[in-house]
Amino acid sequence: MALEHALLVSLTERAGSGYELARRFDKSIGFFWSATHQQIYRVLKRMEERGWVVGETVPQDGRPDKKVYTVGPSGHAELSRWIAEPTEDDAAFQRSELGIKIRAAAHGDLPALCAEIARHRDNHAGRLELYRQIEKRDFPAPDRLTGPALHQYLVLRGGIRVETGFVEWCDEVVGALGNSLARTSRNSPNSAASQPDSFPER
């Protein structure tokens, strides 16, 4: 997927200026497809040159005019073409530096690694809480949803499930590594000296 397609999706939901699109990315689509404000402005210009979007200058009282973009016919055609094409497997764990570090845990500082896993766990737990707040605020009756609102909700549910699974996995890893470290320490001749001062607990 290219940034162009994410912008087309956002603009089919609601027309907007480059600034408004950037704000939307910060608050919604950006959870699943990140882009800087500069990238968004640059790609919008390219999309307008292709005829995928149409920009209309809108006067503003006391402020500079803004350019509001809508999706043109060729943009709708491109979005339809892209939706129908095969999608690559985008499972994040296919390229996980943290996963490789865990695989190599026997060759490093295990308490430090567990502290790093706990940090990742807390970051994902924070995102999970944010997703749940959005779900509660914006989708109080999911069984009544249809159309774009339903589609947005289903993507949010995907994010909730992914973050829930990652948090649970981190808890499992830290617990298992903690038990392994405790067994190793008990079996070591210098068990008192080898016992860490602290260990992340969940």
46 falls in which pLDDT band (50, 70, 90)? very high
Dihedral sign, Cα of residue 147, residue 37, residue 125, residue 121: positive
Residues 73-79, mean pLDDT to the nearest whole number: 95
Dihedral sign, Cα of residue 78, residue 152, residue 123, residue 25: positive
Residues 84-106, mean pLDDT to the nearest whole number: 77
Task: Please report the pLDDT score of residue 199 as a whole number.
Answer: 46
121 falls in which pLDDT band (50, 70, 90)? very high
Q: CA-CA distances (angstroms) from residue 27 to 86, 115, 127?
A: 28, 29, 12
